């Protein structure tokens, strides 16, 4: 683990310009991180942050693969949760220390902006077009899914498990 590094990202405020993520080593050297599309290709067009989509997933994977320095299997396993815990909440310019990442991986610490996030909860499950429309609270977003929902890359594992269970209960009640 690269615990003595700092990761930094910046992009144009309108998010239209290129986004760049670098690792700042203890000696001050600035190193752009590799996108790591060889592990999972979420976003071949680049890294992004500030929401829960494919660009932030690629960013999370790239950061963890760099931080874990060779433990690619762990980076792939952890990157979606890391995306929702950290990357989805980043502003246009941000920094994150290697020590904060280590604390999160080890379950020791709370991310400094964690209070910005509220877990998604299932508000309703309604039969719709041969599947189910699942509405989340507090955001009000809705997704359509069959018995096994497809948005695994859009939500953390806990939320997907919650959707699966809610859809199964609704199907059983029919």
User: Where are the chain's structural domains?
Assistant: 6-115, 118-173
Residue 101 host element (H or E): helix 98-105
Give the whole-angstrom CA distance, residue 134 versus residue 166: 8
Least confident of 23-27, 65-69, 119-123: 119-123
Give mean pLDDT, residues 165-171.
68
Rounded to an integer, the average pLDDT of 24-52 is 92
Based on its alpha-carbon atoms, the radius of gyration of the chain, rounded to whole angstroms, reads 18
Q: pLDDT at position 108, please?
A: 61
- N-to-C CA span, the chain: 50
Q: What local confidence, expressed as pLDDT, does residue 107 receive? A: 78
Predicted confidence (pLDDT) per residue in 137-163, tens digit: 666 667 666 554 444 444 444 555 666
Question: Which parts of 11-54 are beta strand (E)?
Answer: 20-24, 30-32
- Rounded mean pLDDT of the chain? 78
pTM: 0.63
Within 13 A of 169's CA, how many CA atoms are on the CB side? 11
The two most distant CA atoms of the chain are separated, in Å, by: 63
**Mean pLDDT, to the nearest integer, of 65-72?**
93
SS3 166: helix
Dist. CA 174–CA 79, nearest whole Å: 36
Give the three-class secondary structure for 163.
Answer: helix
């Amino acid at each position: 683990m690269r615990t003595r590094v700092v990761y930094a990202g910046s992009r144009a405020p309108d998010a239209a310009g290129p986004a760049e993520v670098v690792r700042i080593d203890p000696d001050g050297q600035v190193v752009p991180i590799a996108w790591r599309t060889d592990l999972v290709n979420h976003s071949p067009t680049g890294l992004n942050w500030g929401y829960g989509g494919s660009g932030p997933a690629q960013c999370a994977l790239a950061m963890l693969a760099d931080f874990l320095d060779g433990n690619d299997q762990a980076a792939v396993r952890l990157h979606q949760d890391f995306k929702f815990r950290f990357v989805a909440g980043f502003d246009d310019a941000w920094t994150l220390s290697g020590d904060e990442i280590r604390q999160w991986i080890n379950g020791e610490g709370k991310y400094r902006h964690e209070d910005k996030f509220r877990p998604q909860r299932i508000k309703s499950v309604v039969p719709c077009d041969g599947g189910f429309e699942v509405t989340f609270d507090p955001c009000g977003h809705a997704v359509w899914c069959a018995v096994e929902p497809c948005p695994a890359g859009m939500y953390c594992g806990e939320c997907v498990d919650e959707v699966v269970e809610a859809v199964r209960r609704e199907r059983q009640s029919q």
